[in-house]
Chain A
Amino acid sequence: MILLFLVVLIVLSAYSVFTRDLLHGVIALSAVSLVSALLFYILQAPDVAITEAAVGAGVSTVVFVWAIRSTERKKRQ
């Protein structure tokens, strides 16, 4: 069960770094935070789950989206 979550995490992280569009990467990173929060809940760590969900899917995504909207979105290869 935990291994399944970890495999999903690896796949999502790999997608977020190998895609050309930076905004897609940010959304994938936010999904990584959500899956991590679920994983923490399964591992009997509710405090860490609350913090990770609020931080990863909330503030961190806002900061990333600000940085990308202010500058450029597509990674010029």
Chain B
Amino acid sequence: MTPRRVFSALWSILPLVISLVAVGAILIPIFLESTPWPVEARNHLEDQGVAESGAQNLVSAVYLGYRAFDTLGETIVLLVAVSGTIGIIARAKGALAKGFDREDKGSPVPAVALAAGTTSLSAPPPRLRRAKTRTDLLEVVTGKLGPVVLVFGFYVMLYGHLSPGGGFQGGVVIASGIVFLALGGKEGASTRLTEAGVLARLEAMAFFFLVLAAFLGMFMGSGFFTNFLAGVGLPSVGFIILLNIIIGLKVGAGIGFMGIAMLSRVEGAKGEEVNHD
């Protein structure tokens, strides 16, 4: 080990050490903080959270009632991230599943199979080459479990005001259910959920309804994004349930769209098409 090699090794590791020391010095007071956690918020919520918002799940009362602006911002970030992801990937040809690309109209019969004479135009679309990873076990299990997971997602979403659950939680479980349906779909049988346009439209409509629900408080006279049902005479938990449904559909459709757009068609490392239909 010549001194020169030792010196160059140390020089190459120097930025890492300096940045670690800097970040450590900035963050260590946060991690060693000893002031007690302020409890005024918890006391107030435990006293009046149920009376003011109507939901027994205090976490739902917080992110749909007291801090609803955070939720609005999160839905905007979700929208931007999903459209950005699909937009970036769609430029590379053949990266997305059929129907998600703009140029790809979804050819019913693979041209290679036609040329090879193994199929004709009147036959149903065959599997071009069944990849080793798509075994029967995977398809049967995910195909059978898909609707169950979807129903569970709807349950978690709708009971958000009474038990652990709500918009975000139910939404991501719904997204998992949609991915299951896409993974396990039998050849020739397609559920409406895995088509390209449905999920994108669902997400956009849910975002529109969320903004509409936010402005509804203003039209009813109580302010932007407030729970107006108490003034009207209906139980105020209805607003929580409505917002939970809207957010659940939005998150589920957005993340599910992203999941299944990446899922079916994967380009191999050397550029050949591996069609996972």
Contacts and interface: CB of A to CB of B under 8 A. Distances in A.
Interface of A: 46-47, 49-51, 54-55, 58-59, 62-63, 66, 69-73
Contacts of B185: none
Nearest to B274: A69
B258 interface: yes
Main SS class of interface, A: helix
Given A66-B262, A69-B266, A70-B95, A59 B176 contact: yes
B139 to A, nearest CB: 16
12 contacts: A47-B57, A47-B165, A47-B169, A54-B176, A55-B172, A58-B176, A59-B255, A62-B259, A63-B262, A66-B263, A66-B266, A70-B95
A58 B59 contact: no
Tell me what chain B mostly uses at the interface: helix, strand, loop, or mixed: helix
A51 B267 contact: no
Contact of A58 (B165, B169, B179, B263): B179
Contact of A59 (B165, B166, B172): B172
A71 B176 contact: no
Nearest to A57: B176
B266 A47 contact: no
A33 B3 CA distance: 44
Interface residues of B, number: 23
A62 B263 contact: yes
Given A59-B259, A62-B262, A66-B262, A50 B269 contact: no
B179 A62 contact: yes
B156 A50 contact: yes
A51 B172 contact: yes
A47 B59 contact: yes
B14 to A, nearest CB: 20
B210 interface: no
A29 to B, nearest CB: 17
Contacts of A72: 269
B168 interface: yes
A51 B168 contact: yes
Contacts of A54: 169, 172-173, 175-176
Given A62-B259, A62-B262, A66-B263, A50 B175 contact: no
B125 interface: no
Given A54-B172, A62-B263, A71 B269 contact: yes
Given A47-B166, A62-B179, A62-B262, A70 B172 contact: no
Contact of A70 (B156, B166, B168, B267): B267
Which 9 residue pairs are nearest across A and B when measured between Cβ atoms? A46-B164, A54-B172, A66-B262, A58-B176, A50-B169, A47-B59, A54-B173, A47-B164, A51-B169
A59 B175 contact: yes
